[in-house]
């Protein structure tokens, strides 16, 4: 499935411990940013922009919609047969 490079060097994501550290840093920074957003003053143009964590939810929903559109609409449009290049 995943082969090591021929020069046998280890990279950052090859070690499970470093992946756990990076995920810990990511989630910690995410929580800190969510807490900071609660205390910042917003200047919304529309009323729903003033809701707590609106842009976090909006970004997540937009990302999920993009994945679903790419998988179920765009993929069938650009997919070729398995033996297309043979």
Angle at 51 between CA 48 and CA 56, to 5 degrees: 100
- Domain span at residue 76 reads 45-86
User: Could you tell me if 33 and 58 lie in one domain?
Assistant: no
User: Could you tell me if 19 and 34 lie in one domain?
Assistant: yes
Q: Is pTM, for the whole model, over 0.75?
A: no
Taking each continuous run of H as one helix and of E as one strand, the counts in the chain are 3, 0
Q: Where are the beta strands (DSSP E) in 1-86?
A: none
User: Could you tell me if 27 and 58 lie in one domain?
Assistant: no
Number of domains present in the structure of the chain: 2
User: Could you tell me if 61 and 80 lie in one domain?
Assistant: yes
pLDDT of residue 4: 57
User: Could you tell me if 53 and 86 lie in one domain?
Assistant: yes
High-pLDDT (> 90) share of the chain, %: 41
pLDDT at residue 17 is higher than 90: no
pLDDT in tens, 26-66: 999 999 988 998 888 889 999 999 888 888 899 999 999 99
Higher local confidence (pLDDT), 6 or 75:
75
């Amino acid at each position: 499935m995943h082969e090591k490079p021929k020069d046998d060097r280890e990279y950052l994501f090859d070690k499970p411990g470093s992946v756990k550290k990076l995920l810990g840093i990511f989630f910690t920074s995410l929580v800190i940013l969510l807490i900071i957003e609660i205390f910042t003053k917003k200047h919304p143009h529309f009323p729903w922009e003033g809701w707590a964590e609106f842009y976090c939810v909006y970004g997540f929903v937009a990302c999920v919609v993009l994945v679903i559109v790419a998988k179920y609409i765009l993929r069938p449009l650009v997919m070729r047969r398995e033996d297309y290049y043979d």
